[in-house]
C-alpha cells in the first residue's frame, strides 16, 4: 500500500478528484482512493491518494554506495589522525559557484553539528577552514594550497540545470590541473540531490548524500587520509 501527494491545475471538486484518481491509476495504483483534497487558490488542488500497487521490490538488485570504512567515535578519529599523520588533518570547506545555501556545509563543519553530533570543528586533531558561500573554484583551489589542505569538502544544494554536477566537475578539473596527483587534496562533494555512485564520473573521491552526519565524514577522512599518508 502506498500514499502519494501531488497538485493538479484543476479547481477543487469532483472533476478534480476524478482526475487525481485517473493519474493514480496511470501510475499503477489500483484501486486508488482520494483521502485528502485541499484547494490551493481557485485553479489548483492538492491531493493525497492512497492505494495498492502490484510492483515488487528486489533488494538483491539494489545498487548503493556501501560504507567501506569503519565508523569511529570522535576519540578514535583523533587517535587515528594523531597516530598516523602526527599533525592535524586540514579540512577546507565551501559552497562553490552561486550556491549560497550553507546549512549543509555548516552542519558538517561547525562545532554545533547536527542530529546530536558535533561538527568537525569539535575534533581536536582536525583543523577546519570554512570559506562559506559562493566561493569561486579558483579561490577554493588557492585556499586549499595556502592552507595545505588534506581534504576539500564542497556542498551543493542548487540543482537547476544540473548546476551541482557542472560545478563539481569544474572543481575536480581545476584541482587536478593545479596539484600533482600525489599532493592533491581528497575531494569530497555533498548535497541532497547527489547520487553517491557518481563519484568517479564527477572526478571526486567521495560523494555524501542526504542524511550524512559529521561522524561519517570525520571517520571517512580519518580513514582515507591516513591510509594515503602511509
Residues that are catalytic: 112
| The three cell numbers locating residue 112 | 554545533
Task: Report which of 70, 126, 74, 81 is spatially closest to residue 222, judged by C-alpha positions.
Answer: 81
Whole-angstrom distance, CA of residue 170 vs CA of residue 223: 26
Q: Are 92 and 129 in contact (CB under 8 A)?
A: yes
Whole-angstrom distance, CA of residue 203 vs CA of residue 175: 10
Phi, psi of 196 (to 5 degrees): -65, -15
Which residue reads 561519517 in cell numbers?
A: 216
| The three cell numbers locating residue 170 | 569544474
Which residue reads 491518494 in cell numbers?
A: 49
Residues 6+ apart with CB under 8 A from 102: 95, 132, 133, 155
Whole-angstrom distance, CA of residue 208 vs CA of residue 206: 7
Q: Are 119 and 110 in contact (CB under 8 A)?
A: yes
Q: Which residues pair with 48 in a beta bridge?
A: 5, 36
Output DSSP code: residue 150: S
Amino acid at each position: 500500500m502506498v500514499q502519494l501527494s501531488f497538485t493538479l491545475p484543476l479547481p477543487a471538486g469532483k472533476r478534480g478528484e476524478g482526475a487525481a484518481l485517473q493519474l493514480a491509476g496511470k501510475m499503477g495504483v489500483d484501486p486508488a482512493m482520494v483521502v485528502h483534497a485541499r484547494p490551493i487558490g481557485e485553479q489548483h488542488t492538492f491531493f493525497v491518494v492512497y492505494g495498492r500497487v502490484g510492483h515488487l521490490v528486489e533488494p538483491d538488485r539494489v545498487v548503493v554506495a556501501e560504507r567501506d570504512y569503519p565508523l569511529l567515535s570522535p576519540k578514535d578519529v583523533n587517535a587515528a589522525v594523531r597516530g598516523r599523520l602526527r599533525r592535524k588533518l586540514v579540512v577546507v570547506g565551501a559552497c562553490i559557484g552561486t550556491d549560497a545555501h550553507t546549512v549543509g556545509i555548516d552542519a558538517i563543519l561547525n562545532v554545533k553539528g547536527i542530529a546530536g553530533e558535533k561538527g568537525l570543528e569539535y575534533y581536536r586533531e582536525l583543523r577546519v577552514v570554512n570559506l562559506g558561500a559562493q566561493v569561486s573554484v579558483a579561490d577554493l583551489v588557492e585556499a586549499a594550497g595556502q592552507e595545505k589542505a588534506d581534504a576539500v569538502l564542497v556542498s551543493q544544494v542548487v540543482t537547476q540545470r544540473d548546476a551541482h554536477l557542472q560545478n563539481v566537475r569544474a572543481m575536480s578539473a581545476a584541482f587536478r590541473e593545479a596539484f600533482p596527483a600525489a599532493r592533491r587534496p581528497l575531494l569530497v562533494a555533498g548535497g541532497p540531490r547527489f547520487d553517491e555512485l557518481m563519484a568517479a564520473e564527477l572526478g571526486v573521491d567521495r560523494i555524501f548524500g542526504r542524511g550524512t552526519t559529521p561522524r561519517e565524514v570525520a571517520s571517512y577522512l580519518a580513514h582515507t587520509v591516513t591510509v594515503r599518508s602511509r
